[in-house]
């Protein structure tokens, strides 16, 4: 009887492995149909990531395509999807925290949020740490008539309540710099100087900024100067073409090879994530744009 059970268990394991291999092969075949070139290895000076929300495909499909391009990380994934990343041995360089209650428009600058936000972020910090990831995004929220100094004080007050917990768990809270001129009207953390001042108020190595190059070109300009002067406050970078937030090629105004060189020269060891919205409506075109962007940012 024991031998029979053992034989059945072995058959089940073999069948499960075969199904998993078939599923993975099928998905790989679908990605291969996009004609991704996978010959030349990336140089390794820039650690590449990509934001999941920009692509019209399931996360699982994006994981396989990203690996073929040479991208080891997917940005802005929520904990309930970590299992998909783990299945493909993918990193999450920036964990998502944007939900129906707290996010871009409703964040740490509203003291009425703080009690619930502390509980919410402790749960996310636990999930981030358990998965072996280190960066968790957060937002200031909209001004709603609040002046910048009061908003800064309110953010510092709320973040101070949770940053000690983040330090113990070895997780970084990372506030994103966003433009309030085009995409996120009234958002408070919309200038590099404001974000840097908040970092100084928090005074923790576990609180830093997500320097979004697209957003800060719109608000501040002088991107390379800001990177050189304030890089110690930046935990992560996002890309995007200006204007339009599309491809980072010669159709837009930013010189991304020069920007990547400036980032590399600061000694930065983290990830740069592509967060442009591809112009193409089909998957093949979107992934071709992603592959081109990675090559543009791949320093010799």
Which CATH number does the domain housing residue 216 bear? Answer: 3.20.20.150
Report the alpha-carbon distance of residue 107 to residue 187 in Å, rounded: 10
Residue ranges making up the domain that contains 21 = 1-33
Which pLDDT score is estimated for 31? 46
Q: Which pLDDT score is estimated for 300?
A: 83
Report which of 267, 141, 153 is spatially closest to residue 202, judged by C-alpha positions.
153
Backbone angles phi, psi at 145, to 5 degrees: 85, -5
Whole-angstrom CA distances from 113 to 108, 126, 178 are 7, 20, 20
* Residue 80: predicted pLDDT: 97
Identify the pLDDT of residue 188.
Answer: 98
Same-domain pairing of 77 and 207: yes
Residue 99: per-residue pLDDT: 83
Cα–Cα distance list, 14 to 18, 19, 26, 76 (Å): 6, 9, 18, 35
- CA gap 56, 54 in Å, rounded: 7
How many domains does the chain fold into?
A: 2
Model confidence at 18: pLDDT above 70: no
Residue where the block lists tokens 């592509």: 274
What is the rounded CA–CA span in Å between residue 27 and residue 21?
Answer: 10
What gap in Å lies between CA 143 and CA 110, rounded to an integer?
A: 9
And the tokens for 240?
């995007």
Asked whether residue 245 falls in the same domain as residue 191, the answer is yes
- State whether 76 and 184 are in the same domain: yes
Same domain, 167 and 289: yes
Neighbours of 218 (CB within 10 A): 20
Residue 93 and residue 6 share a domain: no
What's the pLDDT band for 35 if we cut at 50, 70, 90?
Answer: low
Give the C-alpha distances (Å, rounded to integers) separating 224 from 60, 208, 256, 282, 298. 35, 18, 10, 33, 17
Q: What pLDDT digit, counting tens, does each position of 57-68 carry?
A: 999 999 999 999
What's the confidence (pLDDT) of residue 100? 83
Residues 27 and 157 in one domain: no
In the DSSP assignment, the letter for residue 106 is S
pLDDT of res. 213:
99
- Confidence grade of residue 268 (pLDDT, cut at 50, 70, 90): very high
Looking at the chain, the whole-number percentage of residues with pLDDT higher than 70 is 87
Q: What are 190-234's pLDDT values in tens digits?
A: 999 999 999 999 999 999 999 999 999 999 999 999 999 999 999
Mean pLDDT over residues 283-288, rounded? Answer: 97
Report pLDDT digits (tens) over 70-100.
Answer: 999 999 999 999 999 999 999 999 999 978 8
pLDDT at 11 over 90: no
Indicate if 6 and 143 belong to the same structural domain: no
Same domain, 14 and 72: no
Indicate if the pLDDT at residue 14 is higher than 80: no
Same domain, 173 and 241: yes
pLDDT in tens, 151-162: 999 999 999 999
Q: How far apart are CA 286 and CA 283, in angstroms?
A: 5
């Amino acid at each position: 009887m024991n031998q029979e059970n053992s034989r059945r268990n072995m058959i089940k394991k073999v069948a499960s492995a075969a199904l998993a291999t078939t599923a993975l092969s099928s998905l790989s075949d679908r990605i291969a149909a996009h004609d991704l070139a996978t010959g030349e290895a990336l140089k390794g000076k820039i650690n590449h990531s990509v934001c999941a929300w920009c692509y019209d495909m399931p996360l699982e499909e994006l994981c396989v395509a990203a690996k073929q391009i040479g991208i080891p990380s997917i940005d802005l994934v929520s904990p309930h999807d970590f299992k998909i990343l783990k299945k493909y041995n993918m990193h999450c360089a920036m964990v998502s925290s944007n939900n129906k209650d707290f996010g871009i428009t409703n964040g740490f600058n509203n003291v009425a949020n703080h009690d619930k936000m502390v509980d919410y972020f402790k749960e996310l910090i636990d999930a981030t740490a358990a998965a072996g990831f280190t960066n968790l995004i957060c937002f200031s929220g909209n001004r709603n008539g609040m002046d910048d100094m009061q908003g800064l004080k309110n953010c510092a007050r709320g973040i101070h309540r949770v940053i000690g917990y983040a330090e113990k768990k070895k997780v970084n809270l990372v506030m994103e710099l966003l433009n309030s001129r085009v995409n996120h009207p009234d958002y408070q953390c919309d200038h590099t100087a404001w974000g840097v001042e908040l970092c100084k108020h928090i005074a923790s190595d576990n609180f830093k900024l997500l320097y979004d190059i697209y957003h800060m070109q719109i608000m501040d300009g002088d991107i390379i100067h800001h990177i050189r002067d304030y890089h110690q406050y930046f935990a992560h970078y996002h890309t995007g073409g200006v204007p339009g937030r599309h491809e980072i090629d010669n159709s837009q105004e930013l010189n991304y090879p020069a920007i990547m060189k400036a980032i590399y020269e600061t000694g930065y060891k983290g990830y740069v994530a592509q967060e442009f919205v591809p112009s193409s409506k089909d998957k093949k075109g979107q992934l071709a744009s992603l592959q081109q962007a990675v090559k543009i940012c791949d320093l010799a």
